[in-house]
Amino acid sequence: MANSFLTSSSQQPFQFPPTYSFPPFFTPQPNAATRLSQLQKWSSLIQSWCRHHRIYRFSLVETIDSPLFHNTTLRKRLSLSDARNIIDWMAKPEEDGGGKRAEWIDGANKTMTWIWWRRPEEWAGIVADWVENTGQKNVVLTVYELTQGETTMSQEWHGMDTDAMLRSLNVLVKRGKAQVFGSEGQEGVKFF
pLDDT in tens, 33-64: 999 999 999 999 999 999 999 999 999 999 99
User: Strand ranges (DSSP E) for 44-118?
Assistant: 57-59, 70-71, 76-77, 102-104, 112-115
How far is it, in rounded angstroms, from Cα 125 to Cα 111? Answer: 29
Domain with CATH 1.10.10.570 in the chain: 16-115
Q: What is the sign, positive or negative, of the torsion defined by CA atoms of 160, 168, 58, 117?
A: positive
DSSP three-state, residue 130 = helix
Work out the pLDDT band at 161, boundaries 50, 70, 90. Answer: very high
- Which strand (E) or helix (H) includes residue 140? strand 140-142
Side chain identity at 32, as an amino acid letter? Answer: A
Distances (CA, A) of 86 to 26, 68, 136: 11, 13, 39
Domain with CATH 1.10.10.10 in the chain: 120-191
CATH architecture observed for domain 16-115: Orthogonal Bundle (1.10)
Closest-CA residue to 112 (of 84, 140, 77) = 84
Work out the pLDDT band at 3, boundaries 50, 70, 90. Answer: very low
> Which pLDDT does position 2 carry in this prediction?
39
CATH architecture observed for domain 120-191: Orthogonal Bundle (1.10)
How far is it, in rounded angstroms, from Cα 65 to Cα 78? Answer: 9
- Residue 27 is given by DSSP the state S
Tell me the pTM: 0.90
